[in-house]
Chains A and B, each alone.
Chain A
Amino acid sequence: MKSEEFSYKKNILYLVFESFCKFNLKSQLANPVMFIVYIGAIIVTIIGTTSIYDAAIKEGEFSYFIWSIAFFLWLTIFFANLAEAIAEGKGKAQAESLRKTRKEVMAKKLKDPKNHDNFELISPCLLKKGDYVFVEAGDMIPIDAQIIEGAASIDESAITGESAAVIRENGGDCDSVIAGTKILSDWLLLRVSVNQGESFLDTMIAMVEGAKRQKTPNEIALTILLSALTLIFVLVTATLFPFSNNATALSGNSGVLSITVLIALLVCLAPTTIGGLLSAIGIAGMNRLAKANVIATSGRAVEAAGDVSVLLLDKTGTITFGNRQAANFIPAEGISEKELAEAAAMTSLADETPEGKSIVTLARSLGVQIPDIDTLDASFIHFSADTKLSGINLKDRQILKGADDSISTHLKNLGGIISANVEKIVHQIARSGGTPLVVADDTRIMGVIHLKDTVKPDIKNRLADLRKMGIKSVMITGDNPLTAAAIAAEAGVDDYLAQATPETKLKYIRKMQEGGQLVAMVGDGTNDAPALAQADVAVAMNSGTQAAKEAANMVDLDSNPTKLIEVVEVGKQLLMTRGALTTFSIANDIAKYFAIIPTSLTSIYPELKIFNIMHLQTTESAILSAIIFNAFIIIMLVPLALKGVKYHAQSAESLLRNHIFIYGLGGIIAPFIGIKLIDLLLGLFIGKL
């Protein structure tokens, strides 16, 4: 799903329009913190309006102060709306390019699945789950479906961005097709697997658009805490009215705080920074996932990804390349390594399998001259299920390679045996998790080729990163425990599950969950479905079956099993961004107190002015500066909210230390500087307020 990068400049008018649309009561009610600002802005506007009226009738002064406060309160809300609109805009652009793929096509609905020619053309909207549809080369797949009959190459670039065609066929793990993809060759008989509106494409569009976005559990908990804090500040500012009233009586000075000042104070204190950016952070998290070509079916799953404590990784494709390669040659007694390498290379000259090629490559690296096949007067023995041997027939001799028992059977016919020494080597290799191939030159045993599954070079570091984050990695493999243990040790996984079957996987996940762990896994096959459904975070490969995709809560369009690690990082980043901005928001309040409280109370108790440590010019400019800072900090932090805080794998303790330092301490200091600067600017432009 490669879409054009969303351009802010081109869409600025659209974004502004969207932000104004969000001023309606319903959107504002969704966010308690911003709702308080909304109410405050309305009240101050009313006060401002009555002040015009008063000014016209009486000798009253037109209050530029009230109007400036009102303006900046509305601006605060506008900025919060804008942040949300920008985050949504990114998603909308992605959704738009997805929608283009869903061109209006007609579906060939079959009355009888056996008769491919008797169809009626209907709109895909009318298709129901269980209907049969026929598609042939050149058609668009009208709806998500399962292949009942046939095999075809399909262009899925509209969904995955991958231009190479993929083969889809009935049976096995590649039997599902997605609406919006195009069939390039052959034909398919499909059974519709979803109802209209529930298709994969629909889910994707809804998710990236944020239309179906529900608050995640963590977001709800944070909203509760922020609401509680806001409520405290409502009380603090509300009671300041009778308190200051009383203080004037006690001190004999005048200066009861006006409602405008109190509302300004409330808005400054309320955690508007995080409140205004909260939904943008959530949407941006989904977008980051979408950018990594992962579609989550719920925000809850993304958040859970950050909490994952056990990661189940498939051995093949994730930890290893998935094909065995020659690692070294171990010669038999009296034979040099080079001789063995030469013989081994000869057996593999015509072997096109990755294993065969790797043997030739290894031999070449040892300095063996590889003869050209065409110049050799030789015939090749290809691997057959019957003999389980492959090799070469030269003029005078036959060189063969194969598993030790196949070679031994072959030798028995010729009257030879495998020596005890070679047998020992074979066992050693098998025990270490490798595959031994014995090479025989006629009846003479040359030695053993050690084939082993190659661990991906970067996997060890990634697993170490996971460990730093406190995530345990578990390798799942169908191999025997010996092989599994050897590869596990080499890759550095924390645990492995050997000879895994769907049942043992499910049991393992259940056991982990009972111990309080959150389990994430990747799967593609239908037999993975129960385990995927059980896991807390389940990523299905796009190449996988419909059953797997339905059981999972995320789909990886690239079908790259290592993606899971990225998903975990996005989840963590999402929570961290929320935490960091909450801390920043609360830490900001200290400076705002120093700006507003001393200046606004000095008329009651003049001695309080020593707390005006920023030496702000007047009460009005102090309050305005705080309000302006409060509004602009939201828009300044939008990039951080969208990108998320920087994240490196490290322990919780050092992460906390860094974040407290940057967002806690920074949050205390930044507004002191900001408010002072704004105050100076206000003084410059407007003169002494």
Chain B
Amino acid sequence: MANVFNGQKTFLSFFLHPIEHTFYKIIAVSQNDEMDWKHYAFSIIIFSFLSCFIMGLILYLQASIMGMKPLDPNLIFNTIVSFVTNTNWQAYSPEKDIHQYFQVISIGVQQFFSPAVGICVLIALIRGFTRKNSTKLGNFWVDLVRVLLYVIIPLSIISALIFGFLGVPQDWAKEVTISSLETGKTQNYLVGPIASWTAIEILGSNGGGIFGTNMAHPFQNPNALTHFLGLFLILLLPTSLCYTFGKMVNDTRQGWAIFAAMLIIFVPLTSLTINQENNKISSLSSLPLETHNTSMEGKETRHGIIGSLLWASATTATSNGSIAADHSSFAPINNFLTMFLMQMSETIFGGVGSGLYGMLIFVLITVFIAGLMVGRTPEYLGKKISAYEMKMVSLALLMPLFLILSGAWILLHFLNIKELSVNQGAQVFSEFMYNLTSASNNNGSAMSGITMSNSTSNLILGFLMLMGRFWIIIPVLALAGSLAQKNTVPISTGTLPTHTPLFIFVLIGILLIIGVLTFIPSLALGPIAEHLGLAGAH
């Protein structure tokens, strides 16, 4: 990937090169025409705005063309924003609200574009680190075309083929009728371009399924192999971008260090989630159930506990947000863990591109504090971190936390969440916070149980998604712009090494402390209280 982003040849160049240049001609950009950070950010906004506009038009028109019920404008806004920001929050119901043809040309297209935009921002930031005394960060259009052509499209074609091979159907809007388990009844199922959809849904950390139940639907995820492939693809781009980062800054150790920090947080949390669901629920043990040793409620028997929970952790850690089980049925402590994974502001793997630039924000904070402790103006990859960088880093750090907390405040004012949920007690608050977190961090997974698809929520959640994406992208690009202008300081023994286990340890510490300090009060009132309530009941 580093070669793609640096504009060098790859093994695909042979036949993709002509296509690439045709695109440049069509959109009238020159490959050598580089942009400064403002221009780059402006291009991203223009591109996203155009995407929104076209998608809005499609969603608005489809009702009259296909003779379907028109959608609420707030729902359209929510849906557009959801897909353009790579959140893939699905307030609409995929099976009934939008016709499949239109899903493909509106949502499907964005599932390619939005992760590509994420990678572009990341590339711009990395260029900020690698360039010296330059104001230019590269050309957004060129980056976009290259990312799509050389990375996202080939990977999704390959994975779609494998999904198809493993038994995921691929067809056009068709209904199949299956006789139900209940005798004498039949059920109608929609079949569509499921294999290719699933591929990009998973690969691009999108998560908006062609079915409302995403990867819990037997057509999207029929067997263990597809489940495994899905897990692999969810983590593929966010993890490999770490290596790409190391490659691009000419020090792969830096990439590995970041990857290690992510993994060290991810693995124990995931194991804990699985362990928790395997716990016997004692209140059920008196019932004559075969599986009373584990907690199978809300999980697909195909995937079992481990499969479901691996997916849950992966989908919340990355900003994928597709679901393979009902998150509201998890043990409360897992609501806590999955929510916490999202609240780490897209850092533990995170979305495609966005995860790594989110992590780099925390790396810079760590470098700043640790750098002071060794008595030097903090520097990362030879770039001195001064007041302007700290300003941008602080903005990017504050935004998701600000959105979740203030969004929750506003929504609590408008909604009576007690009435919206089928559950009760602290679980309701967990569900509410989960969904807000999911939107603000551009995750897109939902904890059902609480109905968040009313008009007000759609509007506010849409707004959160929009801010959660672009209010981070802009400071990140400003940061990149300022870094690129700086000279690079050579490394000496006085320089704080940023690839050692010690640094990884400090980075994890800072990540966890900021995460814990910000969200513990709200988590205490939600899943923690509920967990203790359950434990205390016996």
Instruction: Report which A residues bind B (CB closer than 8 A).
Output: 217-218, 220-222, 224-225, 227-229, 231-233, 235-240, 242-247, 249-251, 269, 303, 306-307, 309, 467-472, 514-518, 571-576, 578-580, 582-583, 586-587, 589-590, 593, 597-598, 601, 604-605, 607-608, 610-611, 647, 651-653, 655-657, 659-660, 663-664
Contact = CB atoms under 8 A, between A and B. Distances in A.
Given A221-B387, A221-B389, A589-B513, 19 more contacts: A220-B387, A225-B390, A232-B517, A243-B408, A243-B522, A246-B417, A309-B494, A468-B493, A470-B494, A516-B490, A575-B376, A586-B513, A605-B525, A608-B529, A610-B532, A647-B375, A655-B373, A655-B375, A660-B506
B490 A309 contact: yes
Interface stretch (B88-96, B181-189, B363-371): B363-371
Given A469-B493, A660-B506, A605 B532 contact: yes
Interface string B319-357: 000000000000000000000000000000000000000
B385 interface: yes
B38 to A, nearest CB: 21
10 contacts: A224-B391, A232-B398, A242-B413, A243-B525, A244-B525, A247-B429, A247-B525, A251-B426, A269-B517, A303-B377
B487 interface: yes
B167 interface: no
Nearest to B398: A228
A607 B393 CA distance: 38
Interface in B402-431: 402, 405-406, 408-409, 412-413, 417-418, 424-426, 428-429
B365 A225 contact: yes
Select the residue from A221, A244, A246 with max chain B CB neighbours within 10 A.
Answer: A221
Q: Interface range on chain B: under 10, 10 to 19, 20 to 34, or 35 or more?
A: 35 or more
A472 B492 contact: yes
A220 B387 CA distance: 6
A217 B386 contact: yes
B372 A250 contact: no
Given A221-B386, A590-B513, A597-B520, A306 B375 contact: yes
Interface string B381-402: 0100111011101110110011
B405 A236 contact: yes
A467 B525 contact: no
B397 to A, nearest CB: 6
A686 to B, nearest CB: 27
B492 A514 contact: no
A222 B371 CA distance: 11
A515 to B, nearest CB: 6
A470 B525 contact: no
B528 interface: yes
A236 B375 CA distance: 32
B244 to A, nearest CB: 25
Select the residue from A218, A229, A576 with max chain B CB neighbours within 10 A.
Answer: A218
Nearest to B373: A579
B429 A575 contact: no
B240 interface: no
Given A239-B522, A607-B532, A608-B524, A653 B497 contact: yes
A606 B394 CA distance: 36
Given A221-B368, A516-B488, A247 B426 contact: yes
B418 A250 contact: yes
Contacts of B372: 218, 222, 575-576, 578-580, 582
Interface of B: 365, 368-377, 382, 385-387, 389-391, 393-395, 397-398, 401-402, 405-406, 408-409, 412-413, 417-418, 424-426, 428-429, 487-490, 492-497, 500, 502-503, 505-506, 509, 513-514, 516-518, 520-522, 524-525, 528-529, 532-533, 535-536
Contact of B490 (A244, A245, A246, A517): A517
Nearest to A598: B524
Contacts of A573: 375
Contact of B489 (A516, A571, A655): A516
A571 B376 CA distance: 8
A518 B492 CA distance: 12
A31 to B, nearest CB: 16
A239 B375 contact: no
A123 B385 CA distance: 49
Contacts of A586: 369, 513
B394 A250 contact: no
Contacts of B395: 228
Select the residue from B374, B386, B395, B509 with max chain A CB neighbours within 10 A.
Answer: B374
A540 B453 CA distance: 71
Contacts of A601: 524-525, 529
Which 8 pairs between the two chains have the least Cβ-Cβ distance? Answer: A470-B494, A579-B372, A572-B375, A470-B492, A228-B394, A579-B373, A607-B532, A605-B529
Contacts of B398: 228, 231-232
Nearest to B513: A586
Contact of B517 (A251, A589, A656, A660): A589
Contacts of B390: 221-222, 224-225
A451 B395 CA distance: 65
A247 B533 CA distance: 14
Contact of A656 (B368, B389, B424, B502): B502
Contacts of B424: 250
A467 B376 contact: no
A515 B492 CA distance: 13
B488 A597 contact: no
A688 to B, nearest CB: 25
B375 A576 contact: yes
Contacts of A237: 521
B373 A663 contact: yes
B375 A235 contact: no
Nearest to A582: B369
Select the residue from B395, B402, B405, B413 with max chain A CB neighbours within 10 A.
Answer: B405
A126 to B, nearest CB: 42
A251 B533 CA distance: 11
Contacts of B528: 608
A564 to B, nearest CB: 16
Contacts of B532: 605, 607-608, 610
A579 B369 CA distance: 6
A236 B373 contact: no
B376 A572 contact: yes
B412 A656 contact: no
Given A225-B368, A309-B494, A597-B524, A576 B536 contact: no
A652 B489 contact: no
A218 B371 CA distance: 11
Contact of A470 (B368, B495, B502, B529): B495
Select the residue from A227, A582, A652 with max chain B CB neighbours within 10 A.
Answer: A652
B536 A607 contact: yes
Contacts of B413: 242
A468 to B, nearest CB: 6
Contacts of B513: 586-587, 589-590
B533 A309 contact: no
A518 B382 CA distance: 13
B122 to A, nearest CB: 22
A247 to B, nearest CB: 5
A593 to B, nearest CB: 6
A586 B510 CA distance: 9
A653 B418 CA distance: 52
A579 B371 contact: yes
Given A221-B387, A250-B418, A250-B426, A580 B525 contact: no
A309 B492 contact: yes
Contact of B521 (A306, A597, A610): A597
A654 to B, nearest CB: 9
A13 B232 CA distance: 69
B376 A652 contact: yes
A243 B497 contact: no
Nearest to B384: A307
Nearest to B533: A607
Contacts of A221: 368, 385-387, 389-390
B51 to A, nearest CB: 31
